[in-house]
Amino acid sequence: MKRLKCGISIVSLLISVCTFANAGHDHQENSHNEKKTEQQVNDDKADHNQTGVVEIDAAAQKEAEIKTAILRLQSLPKYIHAPGEVIPNINQSSKVTPRIAAQIVKRIVNIGDHIETGQPLVDLSSVEMAKAQSDLLLAYHEWQRVEELGKQAIGAKRYQTAQINYRHAVAKLIAYGMSRSQVEDFLKEKDSAEATGQFTLLAPQNGTIYDANITEGERVEPGHVLYHILDESSLWVDARLSNENVQLIKKGALTLVGKPNHWVRGKVIQIYHKLEEATRTQIVKISIPNKNDMFHPGQFVNCRIAIGDAKPVLIVPESAVLQTPDGDWAIYVEVKSNHFKQVEVNLIETVDKQAIIEGVKPGIHVVTENAFAVHSELLKTGFQTHNH
């Protein structure tokens, strides 16, 4: 019995040792699991801090033509706002008139047609032109005979007289409205039957037929305006301002003309000193370029005329500012190399395709070209494009 009790005690001791060892192992395993959980939490926090940041490598940026620049304060002048009306630039216009009494035979071009220098505009017929053409043919034939015989054979006086008569006849046709090339073509015929008095007026410049006052069969006097041609590549704008505001404007001042999102740069070329009786306003004339045929005479526009000292503001290209789904405005900032983050800004104003913004500090790198490509990459990540 004593031996049996001793055996039982030894077995109990072994069981206790094993239990203690297992307990220690379980404690170490639990501690390890707790450490892994803590690391995972830290990783999750790090991932959370990077929410809203998209990585685009250099090759992808080049392919998408994404460009960045340092955001700096830029000077923007103060502007006076005024209504304006587009008018023709008289320095780039011309009026086509007959120089002699004539009848309109055929109208070749119409209002709105784009024409080039030397293009036929209208066929006319004139009794005076018929006589002048006949006189030219006679003088031309006489000059040909005299020139062929030579000065020594016929005498210097006759030779000189024939030459002068010929040159005078040519000048007369040109003065009546034919071009020199038309006269040369007419002489090639060498036929008096061609002296019908019919001739064609040609376009004196490139441009558009802005106005026309022409009826086939009508007899018109010299100076009657048949066509008004306007080169619309450059136009004028009459801006109307109060006398007080005009005092702040100087000739040569920079201007913006157009409508929201469609502004062009111009400059003040003239300041009228007389007030309009009806409106009691003063006219400031502005010259603007007209690329892509954007403006037309008679069109009403908004004008911004620069005055005073410029103030520093943050300016980015209009395309660099995108609207978020919740209606806010945002830009993309390169927070570190090849990493871009959406940052909300206040859009103050858009002028001449440039956006004035607030809400960020100068010195940061912002996406200035193809910001939408960055925006699209961010959407692919599943990030909601807002950043409150």
**Same fold? 53-75+312-380, 97-125+197-230:** no
Cβ-Cβ contacts under 8 Å for 12 (sequence gap 6 or more): none
The CATH number of 53-75+312-380 is 2.40.420.20
- What is the structure's pLDDT at 386? 52
In order, the DSSP letters of 32-94 are HHHHHHHHHHHHHHHHHHTTTEEE--HHHHHHHT-EEEE--EEEEEEEEEEEEEEE--GGGEE
Q: Is 288:269 a contact under the CB 8 Å cutoff?
A: no
Q: How far is CA 222 from CA 47, 103, 202, 265, in A?
A: 86, 11, 16, 41
**CA triple 251-270-240, angle to 5 deg:** 105
Give yes or no for a contact between 385 and 324, defined as CB atoms under 8 angstroms apart.
yes
Output the pLDDT for position 162. 95
Each of the 388 residues of the chain gets a pLDDT tens digit; together they read: 344 344 434 334 333 433 434 444 444 444 444 444 444 444 444 443 445 789 999 999 999 999 999 999 988 778 899 999 999 999 999 999 999 999 999 999 999 999 999 999 999 999 999 999 999 999 999 999 999 998 888 889 999 999 999 999 999 999 999 999 999 999 987 667 778 999 999 999 999 999 999 999 999 999 999 999 999 999 999 999 998 999 999 999 999 999 766 889 999 999 998 888 888 899 999 999 998 888 999 999 999 999 876 778 899 999 999 988 888 999 999 999 999 999 999 998 877 678 889 999 999 999 999 999 998 888 887 665 554 4
Domain positions in the chain are 53-75+312-380, 79-89+232-310, 97-125+197-230, 127-195
| Confidence at residue 193, expressed as pLDDT on a 0 to 100 scale | 75
Quote the tokens at residue 166: 């010929």
SS3 177: coil
Q: How many CB atoms lie within 10 A of CB 351?
A: 17
The domain defined by 97-125+197-230 folds into OB fold (Dihydrolipoamide Acetyltransferase, E2P) (2.40.50)
Q: Per-residue b/e over 1-12, b at no fewer than 16 CB within 10 Å? A: eeeeeeeeeeee
Q: Are 79 and 249 in contact (CB under 8 A)?
A: no
What is 180-244 written as a DSSP string?
HHHHHHHHHH--GGG-SSEEEEE-SSSEEEEEE---TT-EE-TT---EEEE-TTEEEEEEEE-HH
CB 160 within 8 A of CB 126: no
Cβ-contact 229, 121 below 8 angstroms: no
Residue type, 153: A
Separation of alpha carbons 174 and 132, rounded Å: 10
96 beta partners = 227
The CATH fold assigned to 79-89+232-310 is Elongation Factor Tu (Ef-tu); domain 3 (2.40.30)
